[in-house]
Amino acid sequence: MWTALATVSVAVMLVLAVKFIYYFSQVMAYLQPILVPFAIAGVLAYLLEPVVARLVKFGTTRHRAVTAVFAFTTLAFVGIMFWLVPMISGQTRKLAKKVPEITKQVRHGVSGLALYVREKTGIHIIPDELYELAQPQPAPTPAPKPTPPDKAKPQPAPLAPSAPEKPVADPAAGTEPPAETDPKPAAVPPVPDMGTPKAEEVFRNISTGEWLNKALPKIFQRVWDFFTNSLGGFLGLFGFLLSLIIVPLYLFYLLAESPHIAASWTKYVPLRASEFKDEVVACLIEVNSYLIAFFRGQLVVSTINGIATGTLLGIVGLDFGILIGLGLCFLGIIPYIGITLCWIPAVIIASVQGGSWLVPASAAWWVFPVVVTGVFVVVQQVDGIFVTPRIVGERVGLHPVTVIFSVFLWSLLLGGLLGAILAVPLTATSKVILRRYVWERSIAPPAENVPLAKKETVAENS
**The pLDDT value given to residue 408:** 82
pTM for the predicted model, two decimal places: 0.58
Separation of alpha carbons 39 and 37, rounded Å? 5
Cα angle 279, 39, 402 (rounded to 5 degrees) comes to: 65
Full pLDDT tens readout for the chain, 462 residues: 667 777 777 777 778 877 777 777 777 777 777 777 888 888 888 888 888 989 998 888 888 999 999 899 889 888 888 888 888 788 778 777 777 777 777 777 677 777 778 778 877 766 665 555 555 555 555 555 555 555 445 555 555 455 555 555 455 545 555 555 555 555 544 544 444 445 455 545 555 555 555 655 665 566 556 545 544 444 556 666 777 788 888 888 888 888 888 888 888 787 788 888 888 888 888 888 877 777 778 888 898 999 999 999 999 988 888 889 988 988 887 777 788 889 998 998 888 887 788 888 788 878 899 999 999 999 988 988 888 777 776 666 677 778 778 888 887 777 666 677 777 778 888 888 888 777 765 444 444 444 444 444 444 444
**The pLDDT value given to residue 220:** 57
User: Backbone phi, then psi, for 457, in 5-degree steps?
Assistant: -65, -40
Separation of alpha carbons 52 and 54, rounded Å? 5
